[in-house]
Amino acid sequence: MGVQKSEVEATSSVSAEKLFKGLCLDIDTLLPQVLPGAIKSSETLEGDGGVGTVKLVHLGDASPFKTMKQKVDAIDKESFTYSYSIIDGDILLGFVESINNHFTAVPNADGGCTVKSTIIFNTKGDAVVPEENIKFANDQNHTIFKAVEAYLIAN
């Protein structure tokens, strides 16, 4: 299995607690409101929203992909960290075994925060994820971040 990793950071005037809640804990209900083209719907297949929960996500018209199945790997509400894996769906392109996503919101002295995002692509065999796909994943995360941030600032 091959492994490719991408890390990005973004700062926000929104507090770490509020942004963590919006981006991680409430994302299934918040995202269809603030970015309707991103997700059409999300259904829980197993679990209660905590670690081990498996969700089937139907992506919106803004995505070239239709579905992804996610599994929640870790939630730490005190350190504002959240991890999930994409374990199935056409988003895996047929040559990616899974995609691990890790988010951390780190409080800043000014009351805002820095959000750190790490994406790890676990490929089948010697497959390599093209740079444009990694850029697309980072751009999608940034678009979601900005939409949720704008919503939280306005509300």
Q: What is the tally of structural domains in the chain?
A: 1
Question: Using one digit for the tens of pLDDT, what is the confidence trace for 105-141?
Answer: 999 999 999 999 999 999 999 999 999 999 989 998 9
Label the pairing between strands 81-88 and 2-12: unpaired
Average pLDDT for 68-96:
96
Q: Confirm whether 24 is domain-assigned.
A: yes
Identify the CATH number of the domain in which residue 116 sits. Answer: 3.30.530.20
Q: Confirm whether 61 is domain-assigned.
A: no
Q: Confirm whether 50 is domain-assigned.
A: no
Tell me if 69 sits within 8 A of 88, measured CB to CB.
Answer: yes
Question: Using one digit for the tens of pLDDT, what is the confidence trace for 33-64?
Answer: 898 888 888 999 999 999 999 999 999 888 88
Residue 100 tokens read as 């691990």
pTM of the model: 0.92
pLDDT at res. 62: 82
